[in-house]
């Protein structure tokens, strides 16, 4: 495949991939469990340095077993919303940050903008202070922040304008970390967000969500609209079936920071890189 592996061909060949409240007390301290990455893991910057041509509207997923970067192209609406899931501490948020950082490497701010909704904005703190990253950011908001609903409303209005033929502005990547806190949003914002999950990709608004695997059964309503599924370590057979919509043998034994996604005929495994140059 040359110097990269790409996810684009899988989207064109596998249309079969289309497919309750759990609010934590905000006063409870949140313990961060950093993902355990392998010593000597490459960085996002080093993996992308192997790419010799411009690849706008692309994201890095990780490093395949052949050592090449594995890219996902956002140009195909059939890709739909993307869900990342694994057991707690196995790399969920780190995966989102790899995808976001690589988007900044591969795109100009005029081509792609990013927004983040999360229960723990502190995990994205550096993204709000680094000058280069701020050029890409529409904002990093907590689910319970009123500005989160405002961002969703703005994106719905943008999508509707584009559906009416008013194509303007950059594509938008909306990252939904800690998706289990979605019900912190107002009812109207939840309706708007669910609509974006279903139809946003048709208007250049791409949603990437992440949820811990053990919460899958409680959030079927929110998981079902995601067309593209990425899974790491998943211990429960029931949760595995909800998250993947097909068998992916051995996910209970995957190491932290190792993920799989379906390519139409088989599963592709890859390892997350470190952030940075």
276 in a structural domain: no
CATH number of the domain encompassing residue 25: 3.40.50.300
Residue 207's DSSP bridge partners are 174
Residue range 136-162: average pLDDT? 96
The pLDDT assigned to 13 comes to 32
pLDDT value, residue 166:
83
pLDDT of residue 33: 47
Contact 208, 99 (CB under 8 A): yes
The contacts of residue 34 (CB under 8 Å, 6+ apart) are 94
Report if residue 239 sits inside a domain.
yes
In whole angstroms, give the CA distance from residue 226 to residue 83.
6
In a domain, 105, yes or no: yes
* Rounded Cα–Cα distance for residues 277 and 275 (Å): 7
Strand 82-86 and strand 112-118: the pairing is unpaired
**Within a domain: 68:** yes
Which pLDDT score, from 0 to 100, does residue 122 have?
93
Beta strands in the chain (DSSP E): 5-6, 58-64, 69-73, 82-86, 112-118, 137-142, 171-176, 205-212, 228-231, 258-262, 267-271
Coil, strand or helix at 127: helix
pLDDT of residue 27 exceeding 60, the answer is no
In a domain, 182, yes or no: yes
CA–CA separation, 103 vs 107, rounded Å?
6
Look at 18-22, 77-81, 215-219, 249-253 and tell me which has the smallest mean pLDDT: 18-22
Q: Which of the two residues, 55 and 206, has the higher pLDDT score?
A: 206
Give the residue numbers spanning the domain of 225: 5-271
Task: List Cβ neighbours of 103 (8 Å cut-off, separation of 6 or more).
Answer: 58, 59, 112, 114, 136, 173
Q: Is residue 84 part of a domain?
A: yes
Would residue 277 count as lying in a domain?
no
Distance from C-alpha of 31 to C-alpha of 52, rounded to nearest angstrom: 40
Report the alpha-carbon distance of residue 276 to residue 44 in Å, rounded: 6
Q: Which of 148, 95, 90, 83 is nearest to 119 (CA)?
A: 148
Q: What single-letter DSSP state applies at residue 193? A: H
Evaluate whether residue 10 is within a structural domain: yes
Please report which confidence band the pLDDT of residue 9 belongs to, taking 50, 70 and 90 as the band edges: very low
- Mean pLDDT along residues 166-173: 88
Question: The tokens of 235 are what?
Answer: 């211990």
Question: Using 50, 70 and 90 to split pLDDT, how confident is the model at 38?
Answer: low
What span, in angstroms and rounded, lies between the C-alpha atoms of 229 and 176? 14
CB atoms closer than 10 angstroms to residue 24: 12
Q: Is the pLDDT at 159 greater than 50, yes or no?
A: yes
Q: Is pLDDT larger for residue 230 or for residue 13? A: 230
Q: With contact defined as beta carbons under 8 Å apart, do 19 and 224 qualify? A: yes
Nearest to 179 by CA among 119, 247, 128, 229: 119
Lowest mean pLDDT among 5-9, 121-125, 127-131, 230-234: 5-9
For the chain, the average pLDDT equals 85
Torsion angle in degrees (nearest 10) through CA of 102, 11, 93, 141: 80
**pLDDT tens digit sequence for 44-56:** 999 998 886 678 7
Q: What is the count of structural domains for the chain? A: 1
Band (8; pLDDT cuts 50, 70, 90)? very low
Query: Nearest Cα to 137, choosing from 83, 100, 105?
Result: 100
pLDDT above 50 (res 244): yes
Q: How confident is the model at residue 203, as a pLDDT?
A: 94
Q: How confident is the model at residue 29 (pLDDT cuts 50, 70, 90)?
A: very low
């Amino acid at each position: 495949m040359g110097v990269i592996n790409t996810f684009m061909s899988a989207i064109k060949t596998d249309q079969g991939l289309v497919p309750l409240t759990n609010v934590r007390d905000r006063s409870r301290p949140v313990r961060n469990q950093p993902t355990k990455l392998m010593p000597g893991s490459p960085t996002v910057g080093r993996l992308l340095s192997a790419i010799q041509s411009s690849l706008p509207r692309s994201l890095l997923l990780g490093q395949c077993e052949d050592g090449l970067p594995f890219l996902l192209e956002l140009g195909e609406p059939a890709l739909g919303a993307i869900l990342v899931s694994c057991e707690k501490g196995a790399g969920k948020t780190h995966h989102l940050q790899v995808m976001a950082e690589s988007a900044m490497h591969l795109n100009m701010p005029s081509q792609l903008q990013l927004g983040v909704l999360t229960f723990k904005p502190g995990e994205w703190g550096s993204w709000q202070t680094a000058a280069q990253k701020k050029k890409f950011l529409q904002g990093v908001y907590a689910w319970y922040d009123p500005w989160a609903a405002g961002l969703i409303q703005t994106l719905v209005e943008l999508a509707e304008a584009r559906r009416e033929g008013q194509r303007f502005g950059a594509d938008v990547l909306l990252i939904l970390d800690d998706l289990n806190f979605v019900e912190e949003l107002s009812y109207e914002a939840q309706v708007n967000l669910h609509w974006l999950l279903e139809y946003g990709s048709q208007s250049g608004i791409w949603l990437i969500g992440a949820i811990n695997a053990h919460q899958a059964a409680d959030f079927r309503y929110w998981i079902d609209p995601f067309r593209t599924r990425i899974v790491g370590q998943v211990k429960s057979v029931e949760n595995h079936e909800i998250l993947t919509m097909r068998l992916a043998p051995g996910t209970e034994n995957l190491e932290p920071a190792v993920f799989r996604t379906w390519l139409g005929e088989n599963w592709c495994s890859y390892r997350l890189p470190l952030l940075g140059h």
